[in-house]
Amino acid sequence: MRDLIEKWKAERERKAFLALEDGTVFDGVAFGAKVDAVGEVVFNTGMCGYQEILTDPSYAGQFVTLTYPEIGNYGTNPDDVESRGLWLNGLIIGELNEPSNWRSTQSLADYLTAAGKPGIYGVDTRALTEHLRDHGNMKSYLHVEACVVRNGRGGTPSCQPAIPSGGLSPSEGIAKARAWEGLDGQDYAAKVTCSTPYQFMGTDPAKSGKSGDRPQLEKIIVYDFGVKSNILRSLRSSGFEVWVVPAKTSAEDVLAMKPDGVFLSNGPADPAAVTYAIENIRKILGIVPMMGICLGHQLLALACGAKTGRLKFGHHGCNHPVKNLKTGAVEITSQNHNFTVLPETLPDCLEVTHVNLNDGSIEGVRHKTLPAFSVQYHPESCPGPHDSGYLFAEFRRMMQGARHET
């Protein structure tokens, strides 16, 4: 009887496939929302932190392949989110597990379903990752095949095969992947940013001690191109009064708020397409100190005259080695980006401060004469190691130095 029940359960599972634009197809089993989707396939090498990945706005427009094989063990909970929603277009994993952690309030499958995001498991994620490493990230189509289960007498489960309903052929999926516009030249920052300015209170860096002993907080304006919650928490913990503004807020409006510094956040897709941000950064440079990370790093470089281009398969994970050229220290970093600052286009006003030890790409720059610097990776590291947390303190020292000079 148990064998019959297990077979019936297997027949109830929805079939699915992932069709790549180059004609490659990967089969699997659908979970999450019962919707088809199009997106760019990337792979993430982190061993944990899938809920933070799901809620990272930088993954907007992408299917994320998790290279770690067992996913879902610790479920999901409302405390580990990094933004107000799920932004990736779909999730690709090897094995899907039910949660067994005391912090879990919802399974991964139910979490995706509630958010309207599709997933596929049972995929050979090693083969998919190797394919992307060889050929680069590419456009793809995720198809979920609805199935109707036949019932036996009296409504009991039947061992007859499920009947495909509304199926799509792999060749049609490949055609849909090729027809999609992709992420090149697309401004996704405008899609994920907040709608109105707000003050982030979060962790109070001076919640202990008498009010007269509390440190003065430098006021910073965070441009939200897809900011993560732990970036804001890290800034608060580093002694900042944090205000967040939408991506298209003008430089004039930002400066009217009289900030001590401006922070350029992470975000998705192609930095060269976020032209309004590049112009605003140019207007602010030199007036107040500036720090950027991820997309913000690329936008700062573009504002200074550099150009950006695609990496073959991007950097996605929480285990990427980066060398600090000033100290010689190697930091293990959290990263999520497909584009990079092209070294041959770097203007004389910028110097390289950090490099990626895997491929030699630029991971950090500093302006030679103005108070501005940026890094390609995520110093807030959620998920990930905390090797780079010192950068927030460095930003604060830069602002304090600028204040003394005036």
State the catalytic residues: 294, 378, 380
Distances (CA, A) of 310 to 125, 183, 184, 268, 306: 23, 11, 9, 13, 14
Where in 247-389 does DSSP place strands (E)? 261-264, 290-293, 308-324, 330-341, 350-356, 362-367, 372-375
Task: Output the furthest CA–CA distance in the chain (Å, rounded).
Answer: 85
Residues 6+ apart with CB under 8 A from 15: 27, 29, 30, 144, 145, 147, 164
CA distance 326 to 176: 48
Number of H helices, E strands in the chain: 11, 20
End-to-end CA distance of the chain, in Å?
A: 81
CA distance 116 to 366: 41
Residue ranges in 245-350 assigned as alpha helix (H)? 251-256, 275-284, 295-303
Sign of the dihedral through C-alpha 115, 76, 238, 335: negative
Q: What torsion, rounded to 10 degrees, do the Cα atoms 258, 264, 268, 272 define?
A: 100
Residue 221, burial from CB neighbour count under 10 angstroms (0-12, 13-18, 19+)? buried
Distances (CA, A) of 55 to 51, 60, 78, 223: 6, 9, 11, 18
Asked whether the beta carbons of 376 and 297 are under 8 A apart, the reply is yes
SS3 265: coil
Could you tell me the two tokens for 30?
């659908």
SS3 199: strand
Q: What torsion, rounded to 10 degrees, do the Cα atoms 211, 214, 217, 222 define?
A: -80
